[in-house]
Amino acid sequence: MMSWLPENISTYGGQIDHLFYLIYYLTSVTFILVAGCMIAFLVMYRHSDGRRATYTHGNTTLEIIWTIVPALILIMLGFMSKARWEEIKSPAHMPPPDLYVRVTAKQFNWEIRYPGPDGKFDTDDDLQVDNDLHVPLNKVVRVILRSKDVIHSFFVPQMRLKQDAVPGRDIQVWFQATKAGQYEIPCAELCGFGHSGMKGALFVQTKDDYDQWVKEQWPAPAAAPAAAAAQAPVAEARG
């Protein structure tokens, strides 16, 4: 079953997968125990004429045990999840970015906007393309998500990244890719008749390849947009 999870190429994806496996094992064991007991009871206590069922209204000790044990397991899962969640989603815990990119969703494309060598969005050296997102390998990328019309959802399965893009809001997400390659960026939230097929491409490039791509986009001066990070072109914004 585990082989069906897409390959993880994100620094925090392993932590999500770890939690997933943990819940998978816990729920599998629980299901096997419950189903096993049920099947055993159905076989052991199937109807036979002349036998009488056990007359009991319950057992308080048992009921306390099977209330407390799941509660403790769920509390443990809650604590483990909280730490990971904050690291991934909370702007206060996000690592400082090497690159800012603005992704604006619209029916039915992703508009990708790079701030250019000046590190600021909405200036002359910005680069805007539809659907193709180029990022350097092993660098922290901060994506500012917007939407022009309806709610879309920015999803990169291999990155374990998903975040809705909501009109009227700037929502920040981050990732750090650990493997070069090309990956699809589907929209995960129903956004109209063209929802299926609204997909972009994420190009995770090695340093040399990425530098080459930057050079092609901004021939002179050859300052990488990655340098823009230090200038923090946007305020931390989350609606």
Partner 1 sequence: MSETAAVGAHAHGAHAEHHELGFIRTYVFSTDHKMIGRQFLFMGLFMMILGGLLALLVRWQLAWPESEVPFTQWIPEPHMYAGHMDAAAYNSFFTMHATIMIFFVVMPILVGAFGNFLIPLMIGTRDMAFPLLNMLSFWIALFSGFIMLAGFCIPGETHAASGWTAYSPLAAVPAFTGVNAGQNLWCISLIVLGISSLMGSINYITTIINMRAPGMGFFRLPLTIWALFIVAILLLLALPVLTGALAMLLFDRMAGTSFFQPAGGGEPLLWQHLFWFFGHPEVYILILPAMGIASDILSVFSRKPIFGYRAMAFSMIGIAFLSWIVWGHHMFQSGMNPALGTTFMISTMVIAVPSAIKTFNWLGTLWGGNIIFSVPMLNALAFVSMFVIGGLSGIYMASTPVDIFIHDTYFIVAHIHYVVFGGSVFGIFAAVYFWFPKMFGRMMNETLGKIHFWPTFLAFNGTFFPMHILGIGGHMRRIYNPLQYDFLKPMQPINVFITVSALCLGVAQIPFVINFFWSLFAGKKATINPWNANTLEWDAPSPPPHGNFGEIPTVYRGPYEYSSPLVPEDFLPQSRKLAPEVSARASH
Do residues 134 and 213 make contact, with C-beta atoms less than 8 angstroms apart? Answer: yes
The pair phi, psi for residue 133, each rounded to 5°, is -115, 115
Residues 36-65 binding partner 1 (CB under 8 A) are: 37-38, 41-42, 45-48, 51-59, 62-63
* Closest approach of partner 1 to the CB of residue 149, in Å: 6
Please tell me what DSSP assigns to residue 97: P
Residues 110-139 that bind partner 1 (CB under 8 A): none
Q: Which of 171, 202, 224, 226 binds partner 1 (CB under 8 A)?
A: 171
**Binding to partner 1, residues 194-213 (CB under 8 A):** 194-197, 199
Nearer to partner 1, 96 or 194 (CB): 194
What radius of gyration, in Å, describes the C-alpha atoms of the chain?
25
Which residues have a Cβ under 8 Å from the Cβ of 38 and sit 6 or more positions away?
Answer: none
Give the largest Cα separation in the chain, rounded. 94
Minimum CB distance to partner 1 smaller for 69 or for 222: 69
CB of 80 to partner 1, least distance (A): 8
Q: Within 10 A of 158 (CB to CB), how many other CB atoms are there? A: 20
Query: Does residue 220 bind partner 1 (CB under 8 A)?
Result: no
Q: Which residues contact 231 (CB under 8 A, 6 or more apart)?
A: 119, 120
User: Of the candidates 25, 74, 212, 215, which one interacts with partner 1 according to CB under 8 A?
Assistant: 74
